[in-house]
């Protein structure tokens, strides 16, 4: 199914958890389902239960203030759009999801 032009599309990928399968026990899939379900059912109020305040801040602004203290990071944070929990929940509710389930498997040992 193609998303209509102008629709919000969430691209979701993840790190492989084993060499044989991306998510063998469905840990990441269940976490994603839990977050999306809470956002749709509870709206922005779900954010405080799902995210630590510093984690939400890093997600919403794209800069983790716990890891980056530079003046560049501070300027970038000031310029970025402020994503509120309510705006995020509304965006999720009407969005199409592109779930990259298989991803690109990585060869063991780093060589090709």
pLDDT at 67 over 80: no
Calculate the average pLDDT of the chain.
78
Residue 108 vs residues 6, 18, 58, 105, 111: alpha-carbon distances, Å:
40, 11, 31, 9, 7
| Residues 76-102, mean pLDDT to the nearest whole number | 77
Query: What confidence score (pLDDT) does residue 107 get?
Result: 61
Q: What is the pLDDT of residue 106?
A: 58
Cα 95-32-66 angle, rounded to 5 deg: 100
pTM of the model as a whole: 0.63
């Amino acid at each position: 199914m193609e998303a209509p032009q102008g629709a919000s599309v969430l691209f979701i990928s993840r790190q492989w958890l084993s060499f044989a399968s991306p998510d063998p026990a469905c840990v990441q899939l269940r976490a994603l389902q839990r977050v999306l379900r809470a956002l749709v059912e509870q709206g922005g109020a779900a954010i405080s239960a799902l995210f630590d305040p510093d984690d939400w801040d890093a997600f919403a602004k794209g800069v983790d203030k716990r890891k980056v203290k530079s003046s560049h990071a501070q300027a970038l944070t000031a310029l970025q759009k402020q994503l509120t929990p309510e705006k995020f929940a509304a965006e999720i509710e009407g969005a199409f999801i592109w779930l990259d389930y298989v991803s690109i498997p990585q060869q063991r040992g780093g060589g090709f």
